[in-house]
Every structure is written in structure tokens, then in C-alpha cells.
Structure 1
């Protein structure tokens, strides 16, 4: 009912605007003199309004349900469980999921509907979890019995460490990470905190985007700084590993809006997951969303962002520059592994400070 009234209102506005435009041209033609002056151009603001109305009408017409086919499609819509779209009414982002329940099931299959509705089912957990968990974020080992290994090729943390010791599943090996200065690309945590202190800017709350098993958050925890980590279980239990270290993992893909309120964080760090493979539009939305959660005076840290050298100069540097942040550190160096040499890639480490709004 409300949808139809809204469409009728838009149509009425379009009709009124069209009549006004017709009267405008009619009056100019009636009042012609023997030597009429040049016709006055239609004001830009009126053309813009008509264009907006026309675009809105087209959009609403495309998405307006066809009442003639309601009866024929009623059986399909009735098959969609009502609880499936219950929580889609609470968020305008998910209005499409609510207005088109017949498409919702397809979106769920493709994992493309955001936000996903809540489920009414029980989640499987490990049948033999350990009775004690380490308080130290850098324990000698992680208990494998707390993880469901059925969907992974490895069945223990020891297997993952043998497969690749650099994945972050051996916290004792990562204890020196973020603490040493080996090249211009490195930014040790003590130096970061000294920079913030010199600028009279406190660092208390942070977000580590694509932080793996949470080593950065673990290091910051030892400085009494709270950092939550976004991570995905891509081939290994990264979320479980971070939680076993006493850290907070957020199971959030890079294309999803960060589940943090506006302007509350002091620091956002982008780990190795944020690099040139992200589509440019997605990366732009990610940067602006990180700007949204940062407070004025907060820091954005791009840690070893890599791309082709020419793209960094012509694409990514201007994109980052759109934020208008102050460059505290901006260091580049060639990426010397086989992929970097083949593609002419470079690393960028940048520490940028968000300006305070006036």
C-alpha cells in the first residue's frame, strides 16, 4: 500500500513538473514580439529535477511488483519461510532481501545477501575441548582439540606449522613480529606509539583488517591496547586460532561494511590481505569505511601494501590521497620475490593521520 502511494506521488510530481515546463514554453511563444529575443534556456536545476524524477520513475517501475502476476507467483512466495526475512526488516541495507523474498533464497545460496538473516539452529563445536586455555597471547602451542578439522586438509595445528611455518599458527615463533626494524617498510610498535605520543594522540582501540591469527592484536594486548581482528577461515582455522590466543576475531570479508560505529577507533591497520588483487571499487569503499570508523586524529596504517609500481603511482596513490590524510610515513621498496620481479611490483608502507573535523 505504502509502496503504491509512493509511486503515485512520484508520478504526480512528474506530471506537475511536465505541465510547468509546457506552460513555460507556451508563455514564451505567445508573448513573441516582431523581433523576438533569443529563447531562454531551460534552467539547469529544472532539467536536473526532471532527470531525477525520470530516473526514479524508471527505477520504481522496474522494481514495482506486477499485480497481474501476483496470484500466479503466490505459491512461490508462500514457500519462503517467514522467519527467513524477519531480520531483513530491521536494516535498510537488506530491504531488497525483504521486498523480494523469492530472490532471497538464491542470494543465500550464492552467499551474496547482506546482512545474512539469523539462523535458528545449533552450531557444531568440538566434542573434546581442552579444559584450560592460555592467558598468554603467545603460548608455546595452540590446543588442536578445540577446533573442528573436518573441512581442512590438515587435522592439527602441528600439521599447519609443518606445511607452512609462516601462517601464524605457531605463536611462539611470531613473538618478535612488529617489534624489529629491518627495512624502511617496517614500523615497529614502539615507534608507532612514540609517534602517537609526540602528536598528543592516544592509541587505545584498534582494528586489524585481514590480520590472520591475530599476531598484531596479541602484541598490542601486551601494551594494554585493545585490537580486534577481521579474518577469514580460508583453508585454515584462523578465527579459532585468534580466539584461542584470547583475542577477538571478526569473521568479516573485505567487501562487507565494518561492524564498528562511526569515529570510535584510534587505529586501523591493513595487513597483507589488502593489496592490488582487490577490485578498485571495492578497495575505495573499504578505504572510506575505514575512514568512517576512525576518529579525528586517528591513524590508518597500510602495512606492506603491494601493487605494480606504475599502478601505485597512477591508481592507488591518488585513491589513497582522496582521504586527505596527513602523511606521517610513506615508504616504498621493490617486491623481490618471484611474483614481484615478474610483475614489477612494489611494497608500500604508509602511516596516515586522519584530520580533525572543524
Structure 2
């Protein structure tokens, strides 16, 4: 009996050992092979930079820093806006300014911080976040505004700015007559004194002879809006004027004349739909001081908004003579536009003589179809 029990015990141990060896063998035989290392995916550098910009923006919006300038918490409305709308990636380079801009009291009067806004805009932080506050209005608003875009005087009752030494349009006229003498600017756009000049009526004749209808347009860097005013009163053409209040309240002056100011920098995409404009005019704001990539993108954005057969008008664009021949003319030529007018002459002021600069006045027509 004892022998039988011992034998059965040995058989049980042998069976258990066999099962253990079988399980070990199966686990080693059917073990999944090690995965091969992943094939690296090439990501273009510009996408990496853009992703890094976005990450940095999110970090600045959601994390506190030890910087003495940034010890205050992130304004609640900045975080709220970042959750409902995109914020330009360039804002991450100026988080302190962005926080100042969004550090206000909701549902009250907005701070009058135009300098801060334009600093952010010119550094690429545009469009700016929206704010839940009320815009400032004049203490004694005028009972009527001029319907004529060439009034004898712009209404000082609409003035709300505080950052300029001049506190009235009358003061601006006295101290800056080149920009704020509306009649002087008007006459300069109607006269023909040299081959660089293109009076408004002459341009409209050129368009009419080509069976082109001019109804809508944009004046880039149009100052106080005199070109838009002329097109409105003489030809019933609606012109938008891009403005920035650099050293003077140009946007307020444009609006006081019953015209539309677009508060946008040159590097921003024009805020109008594709193929809708009959004319885009580039005034004195467009010149050789603009970085070449910005200017090239601007020309192609002009092409985007122009309809087939529309016109690009460069009014006294200036650059060095060599640069015009080697850089700007080839850049403009890539658009494939028809040259309606192309006039070049020396820039004879002290800066022009010193730097060997020339003026270019050109009217170019976009192909009707591509």
C-alpha cells in the first residue's frame, strides 16, 4: 500500500514537471517578436517651427513663470479667448504685452491702449484677441458728421485720442499739413506734372478704354483716405483704406470723412474675399523698406483679391535703381500682369540723391483668365 502511494506521488511530480516544461517551451516558442524600430518620418523645418510656436503660445497662456515681469496670473479672458478662437503664433514672443492687453475689467470701458495694440500688431500678433469691454466714445459727440469727404474741417468733437501732442484736427493741420491738408492731397492726385503722375481721371479713362468697370478697391497705406474720397465723390467707387496710426490718428481721420479704414499691417492677409476687387492701389507705405518676403507675399495676396482684369496701381514706389532692375521688377514680373503704365524717374530729394533711389509709377492689369 505504501509502495503504491509513493509510486502515485512520483507520477504526479513527473506530470507536473512535464506540464511546467511544456508551458515554458510554448511561451518561448510563440513569444511575439520584438517590434522593429520605427522608420523616422521627415517633418519640414517650417512645420516644426510652427508647432514649436503653438506649443510656446499654449505654455505662456496656461503656465505661470518665475520672470519678475510675469509673476501675475494669466488674465482670465486671455485663457477664455484662447479656448474659443485661435491666437496668432507670433504672440508667444510677446507674452507680457499680450497679458497687458488682455488685463482689463470685463464689461466696463476698454482701456485706451492703441500704442500697445499697434506694437503687438506690428510684431505679428494679429488679429488681436477680442475683449469683452465697451469702446470709448467722445464726451460731447457731434450732432452731425460731414457727408462730403472734403469738409472745410474735420470735426474735433469726435476726437478721443490722448497719445499725440496734438489734441485736435486743427492742430494736426497746422503741424502736419502734408497729411492733413485735405485739399493739398486732393490736388496732388488730380494734377499731371511729370511722367510719374497719374491723375485719377486719367486712370479711369484707361480703365474705360479697356472696358473695365471700377466699383470696389483697396488703397494700401492710404494715409487720411484722400484717394478713396476722390473715387467716392467723382466716380461712386467704394475704396477701403488700410491704415495704422503711426505718429498720427490716420484711422480717425479716414472715418471722420465718411470712409472705411482697415486697421491692418502690411504683413497681414487682406480681409476681403478672393477675386472681388477691381483695383488695389499701393501708396507711399509700400516701398523698399519693406522686407522682401513680406512684399512678395503682399503682391500675391493682391493677386488673390483682384478679379480677372483688375488693376494693381503702384504710385511712386521708390527703391535703389539697381534693386528696381534686379529685384523688384522681376518680382512684379512673376505676376504675369499686363503693363498699362510703367514710368521710372530719379528721386531728387536729399535721401534719394544720397542713396541713388528712383520712383516707379506703374499700372498693371491682371489677366482675365489663367
TM-score (norm 1): 0.76
Aligned residue for 2:177, secondary structure, equals coil
Following superposition, the deviation at residue 74 of structure 1 comes to 5.6
- Structure with max Cα Rg: 2
Alpha-carbon contact 2:186-2:227 (below 8 Å) kept: no
Superposition misfits of 4+ residues, deviation over 4 angstroms: 53-66, 73-79, 85-92, 101-104
Residue number among 258, 267, 271 corresponding to 1:259 in the alignment: 271
Partners of 1:242 and 1:275 in 2: how far apart? 22
Alpha-carbon contact 1:107-1:113 (below 8 Å) kept: no
2:201 match:
190
Residues 209-244 of structure 1: CA deviation (Å, up to 9, x unaligned)? 000000000000011100010011111111111111
2:133 match:
121
Q: 2:288 aligned with 1:276, yes or no? A: yes
1:181 match:
192
Aligned residue for 2:251, secondary structure, equals helix
1:147 match:
159
Aligned pair in 2 of structure 1 residues 271, 102: CA closer, same or farther (>3 Å)? closer
Aligned residue for 1:207, secondary structure, equals strand
1:24 match:
none
Following superposition, the deviation at residue 309 of structure 1 comes to 0.7
Aligned pair in 2 of structure 1 residues 293, 85: CA closer, same or farther (>3 Å)? farther
Aligned residue for 2:178, secondary structure, equals coil
1:6 match:
none
Structure 1 segments unaligned to the other structure (5+ residues) = 1-11, 19-49
Residues 252-295 of structure 1: CA deviation (Å, up to 9, x unaligned)? 11111111111110000001011011111111111111111111
Aligned pair in 2 of structure 1 residues 83, 56: CA closer, same or farther (>3 Å)? same
Aligned residue for 1:166, secondary structure, equals helix
2:365 match:
353
2:95 match:
105
TM-score (norm 2): 0.73
Partners of 2:158 and 2:47 in 1: how far apart? 55
Name the Cα RMSD after superposition: 3.1
Alpha-carbon contact 1:207-1:227 (below 8 Å) kept: yes
Alpha-carbon contact 2:216-2:277 (below 8 Å) kept: yes
**Aligned ranges for residues 50-65 of structure 1 at < 5 Å?**
52-53=42-43
Residue number among 297, 312, 323 corresponding to 1:285 in the alignment: 297
2:147 match:
135
Following superposition, the deviation at residue 62 of structure 1 comes to 5.8
Partners of 1:201 and 1:354 in 2: how far apart? 11
Aligned pair in 2 of structure 1 residues 88, 332: CA closer, same or farther (>3 Å)? farther
1:84 match:
78
Aligned pair in 2 of structure 1 residues 162, 87: CA closer, same or farther (>3 Å)? same
Aligned residue for 2:192, secondary structure, equals coil
1:201 match:
212
Q: 2:229 aligned with 1:239, yes or no? A: no
1:28 match:
none
Aligned residue for 1:175, secondary structure, equals helix
Following superposition, the deviation at residue 53 of structure 1 comes to 4.7
Following superposition, the deviation at residue 54 of structure 1 comes to 7.5
Alpha-carbon contact 1:142-1:170 (below 8 Å) kept: no
**Aligned ranges for residues 9-48 of structure 1 at < 5 Å?**
15=38, 18=39
Following superposition, the deviation at residue 204 of structure 1 comes to 0.4
More moved, 242-251 vs 122-131: 122-131
Alpha-carbon contact 1:80-1:102 (below 8 Å) kept: no
Following superposition, the deviation at residue 81 of structure 1 comes to 4.4
More moved, 211-220 vs 109-118: 109-118
Partners of 1:341 and 1:270 in 2: how far apart? 23
Aligned pair in 2 of structure 1 residues 329, 54: CA closer, same or farther (>3 Å)? closer
